């Protein structure tokens, strides 16, 4: 028997081959980090930018490079330093005496994947130069607006341990990053495996593209079509709203965060070959999407409360939309 059906889930057939190929390719150089790779790929599929935050030597840059290569995108790396100028990132207009005109020389931002390494070492002025590029996919220089190539992804890294000579990313900049991920140290077994695999040659040199930019754009369109049930949307919105009323938070996640959470959840569902989003997708995406958008109270900071712990606490408190058991009958 078939009942009348109303909301039809997205009609497309997900292509897990795309995801599997990219994930396997990245796994060749990054051992035991499938979860963070999947989340980073979800961020890219959702059309966002990814901030990798962890201690030095945990594979942040390697993950960014492997993703860029695997996706077949142009790749530019900028080592952010205190003397880096905005023009060094976005490009500058150079005067050509021969023609007597200014010619725009594009900066490294005009690429498919921009790796902003140690982004917190640049001055806020230079960091802010990326705002327009990340938010609107364009660069304005000397009054002229130039679009960036599509797809355009910024993968930035920063070391949260060092404070000397660093400039904390402003909230507006942090909000432009769809996800903040931590790569984390490998387990003992993973580290042994990595040593064996990289003993003679680093496989990043032999890594090749497994897909094309056009395929990525197509995948991004499919991700946007993944069905999100109204109840799941309400759940997601409640989670965002709870961050605004948490006693340890002065500034919670905004509506942009809700949109980001939905996008990443859609991408995770698509990566799982599912044409609809479940609360599991939302819960998997929430720490990466919400934590870096929270501004904690000074008391919480002094007590060393990590922002992701607050998101985890909220996830444990917010009921998911699912059937409840009937009251027990004795």
Residues at the contact surface with other proteins, assessed by CB under 8 A: 1-9, 227, 229, 231-232, 274-280, 283, 315-330
Least separation in angstroms between CB 316 and other proteins: 5
Q: CA 264 to CA 282: how far, in whole Å?
A: 8
Closer residue to other proteins (CB): 205 or 329? 329
Q: Nearer Cβ to other proteins, position 3 or 142?
A: 3
- Pick between residue 6 and residue 163 the one whose CB is nearest to other proteins: 6
CB of 115 to other proteins, least distance (A): 34
> What does the CA dihedral 214, 219, 225, 228 come to, rounded to 10 degrees?
-150
Nearer to other proteins (CB atom), residue 120 or residue 258: 258
**Nearest distance in Å: CB 267, other proteins:** 16
Name the DSSP letter for residue 157.
Answer: E
- Rounded CA-CA distance 88/106 in Å is 9
The CA distance from 79 to 29, in Å, is 21
CB closer to other proteins, 10 vs 166: 10
The least CB distance from residue 5 to other proteins, in Å, is 4
Strands (E), 213-308: 249-251, 295-296
Place of tokens 């995770």: 268
Minimum distance, C-beta of residue 324 to other proteins, in the bound complex (Å): 5
Residue with Cβ nearer other proteins (13 or 325): 325
- State the nearest-atom distance from the C-beta of 321 to other proteins, in Å: 6
Nearest one of 30, 39, 25, 26 to 181, comparing CA atoms? 39
At 87, phi and psi to the nearest 5? -65, -25
Measured between alpha carbons, how far apart are the two ends of the chain, in Å? 35
- Contact between 302 and 308 (Cβ < 8 Å): no
Tokens of 27: 């796994």
**Based on CB atoms, which residue is closest to other proteins, 164 or 323?**
323
Q: What angle do CA 114, 118, 124 make, to 5 degrees?
A: 90
CA distance 324 to 150: 45
Q: At its nearest, how many Å lie between other proteins and the CB of residue 318?
A: 6
Q: Return d(Cα 177, Cα 301) in angstroms, integer.
A: 22
């Amino acid at each position: 028997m078939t009942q009348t059906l109303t909301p039809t889930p997205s009609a497309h057939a997900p292509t897990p081959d795309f995801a599997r190929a990219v994930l396997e390719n990245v796994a060749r150089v990054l051992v035991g980090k499938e979860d963070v790779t999947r989340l980073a790929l979800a961020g890219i599929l959702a059309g966002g930018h990814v901030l990798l935050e962890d201690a030095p030597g945990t594979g942040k840059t390697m993950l960014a490079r492997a993703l860029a290569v695997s996706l077949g995108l142009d790749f530019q790396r900028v080592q952010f330093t205190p003397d880096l100028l905005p023009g060094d990132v976005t490009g500058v207009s150079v005067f050509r005496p021969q023609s007597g005109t200014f010619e725009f020389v594009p900066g490294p931002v005009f690429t498919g994947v921009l790796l902003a390494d140690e982004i917190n070492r640049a001055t806020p002025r230079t960091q802010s130069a990326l705002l327009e590029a990340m938010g609107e996919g364009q660069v304005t220089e000397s009054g002229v607006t130039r679009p960036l190539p599509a797809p355009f992804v910024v993968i930035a890294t920063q070391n949260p341990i060092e404070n000397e000579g660093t400039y904390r990313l402003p909230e507006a900049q942090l909000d432009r990053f769809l996800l903040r991920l931590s790569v984390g140290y490998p387990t003992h077994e993973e580290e042994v495996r990595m040593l064996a695999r990289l003993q003679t040659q680093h496989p990043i040199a032999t890594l090749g593209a497994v897909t094309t930019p056009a395929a990525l754009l197509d995948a991004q369109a499919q991700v946007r079509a993944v069905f999100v049930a109204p109840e799941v949307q309400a759940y997601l919105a409640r989670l965002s709203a709870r961050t605004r009323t948490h006693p340890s938070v002065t500034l919670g996640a905004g509506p942009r965060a809700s949109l980001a959470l939905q996008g990443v959840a859609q991408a995770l569902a698509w990566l799982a070959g599912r044409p609809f989003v479940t609360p599991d997708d939302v819960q998997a995406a929430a720490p990466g999407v919400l934590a870096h958008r929270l501004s904690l109270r000074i008391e919480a900071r002094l007590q060393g409360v990590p922002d992701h712990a607050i998101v985890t606490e909220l996830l444990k408190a917010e009921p998911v939309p699912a059937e409840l058991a009937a009251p027990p009958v004795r």
